[in-house]
Amino acid sequence: MKNACPSGCVAADVLALAGRWALGGFFIYMGLNKAADPVAFLKLVRQYDLFPTPLLLNGVAALLPWFEVFCGALLIAGIAVRGAALVVAALLVPFSLAILGRALDLGSAQGIPLCAVKFDCGCGTGEVNACRKLVENTLWTALALWLAWSRHGRRWCLHPELWGGR
């Protein structure tokens, strides 16, 4: 078979499939949680004080949840996998930096260490421990980058690349 997986790579492909589905499922779950109550998400995004105009703030709060669902669906279906994984990684990095900045501010204001800070980061799961969330995001980012750069993750896909066919 022309495109047969060389010996030893099946396990990596299975791992990539599991990772793709986990990452995609995570993004769909988080996105739908936010989309279910956009006003609550809007208030949480506002707390970061990152967006100087209502249009930017509203745009992020209104569009990001659905964009996350879209990216998650691409990963699960296996469509443009590397591009989707790259976009997901590009989302996770600024998310994590924003969470770190906010957690440091809260920790400073409350006089507690970073890893004792608990707050609703607007991530879609309610109140979280800042350190745990940062570790979790780092692992998701690593997985997304691996999917983006790896040769694996293209089996069992509907359309792994937008150009060039299957």
Applying CB under 8 A, the residues found at the interface with other proteins are: 35-39, 42, 46, 54-55, 58-59, 61-67, 70-71, 74, 80, 82-84, 86-87, 90, 148, 161-163
Q: Which is nearer to other proteins, 36 or 142 (CB)?
A: 36
Rounded to 5 degrees, what are φ and ψ at 4? -60, 145
Contact 122, 43 (CB under 8 A): no
Using CA atoms, how far apart are residues 101 and 68, in angstroms rounded to an integer?
Answer: 22
Q: Which is nearer to other proteins, 61 or 130 (CB)?
A: 61
Q: Which is nearer to other proteins, 136 or 161 (CB)?
A: 161
Least distance from C-beta 49 to other proteins, angstroms? 11
Least distance from C-beta 68 to other proteins, angstroms? 9
Least distance from C-beta 63 to other proteins, angstroms? 4
Interacting residues of 157 by C-beta distance below 8 A, sequence separation 6+: 77, 78, 79, 81, 166
Least distance from C-beta 62 to other proteins, angstroms? 4
Q: Which is nearer to other proteins, 59 or 101 (CB)?
A: 59
Using CA atoms, how far apart are residues 160 and 166, in angstroms rounded to an integer?
Answer: 6
Rounded to 5 degrees, what are φ and ψ at 160? -60, -25
